[in-house]
Amino acid sequence: METLDTVLTRRSVSRLSDPAPDDAQLLALVKAAMTAPDHGRLLPWRLVTLRGEERAELGARLAACSADDPHARERAAAKPLRAPLLVAIVFAPVAHPTIPRWEQLAATAAAIQTLSLLLHDRGYASIWRTGAVTHDHGVRALHRLRPDEQLLGWLYTGTAVSLPRPRRLPDPRARVRTLTQLAASGAQVEVCC
């Protein structure tokens, strides 16, 4: 697939089934994703894969986070079973004198976006799922998070059950302006320093 086509056709897909990339395929894609912009090449992230019964173990932790409603617990327990492979995204910031935490978080997001594009390019589909449960002590413990790490969610990965509709993109001119256009528009300037 051509790069532009990959970017334009990638969609988050919520209905996933087998197959998912095996460990060797995933490692090759992660290696390529490591080329994403990353100031200082700190790689301030790590990934934890969950397959098979490991997904059910996560489901049990998610159910424990749910209300006392048995139906809510049942729905929460089933969530990790929606895809054959879950890739937990762990933000692991590195203490650095000149590279702030926000840049490291941006580098992590760039790596995951690159991984998502690479998965799509290889015929797989994914969706990045998050939620308040990422802060739960039991969920954090399952992923062996250190106190300074943050669980950013899971990249649910597999093969699309059905193809998503094409996305209608807005006009990019609404998001891009030249400096000259801004000056001519009389846009307010915040002066500091």
Q: Helix/strand/coil (H, E, C) string of the chain?
A: CCHHHHHHHCCECCCEECCCCCHHHHHHHHHHHCCCCCHHHCCCEEEEEEECHHHHHHHHHHHHHCCCCHHHHHHHHHHHHHCCEEEEEEECCCCCCCCCHHHHHHHHHHHHHHHHHHHHHCCCEEEEECCHHHHCHHHHHHCCCCCCCEEEEEEEEEEECCCCCCCCCCCHHHCCCCHHHHHHHCCCCCCCC
Give pLDDT tens digits along the chain (193 positions).
699 999 999 999 999 999 999 999 999 999 999 999 999 999 999 999 999 999 999 999 999 998 788 999 999 999 999 999 999 999 999 999 999 999 999 999 999 999 999 999 999 999 999 999 999 999 999 999 999 999 999 999 999 999 888 889 999 999 999 999 989 988 777 777 6
Cα dihedral 132/106/35/140 (nearest 10): -30
The reported pTM is: 0.93
Q: What are phi and psi of 56, to 5 degrees?
A: -65, -35
Cα dihedral 14/142/53/17 (nearest 10): 10
* pLDDT for the residue numbered 68: 83
**Calpha distance 16→85 (Å, rounded):** 9
**Calpha distance 88→129 (Å, rounded):** 10
Place of tokens 């594009």: 117
Give the model confidence (pLDDT) of 109-140 as tens digits.
999 999 999 999 999 999 999 999 999 999 99
Give the model confidence (pLDDT) of 149-173 as tens digits.
999 999 999 999 998 888 899 999 9
Query: Structural domain boundaries of the chain?
Result: 3-185
The CATH superfamily holding the domain 3-185 is: NADH Oxidase (3.40.109.10)
159 in Cβ contact with 18 (< 8 Å): yes
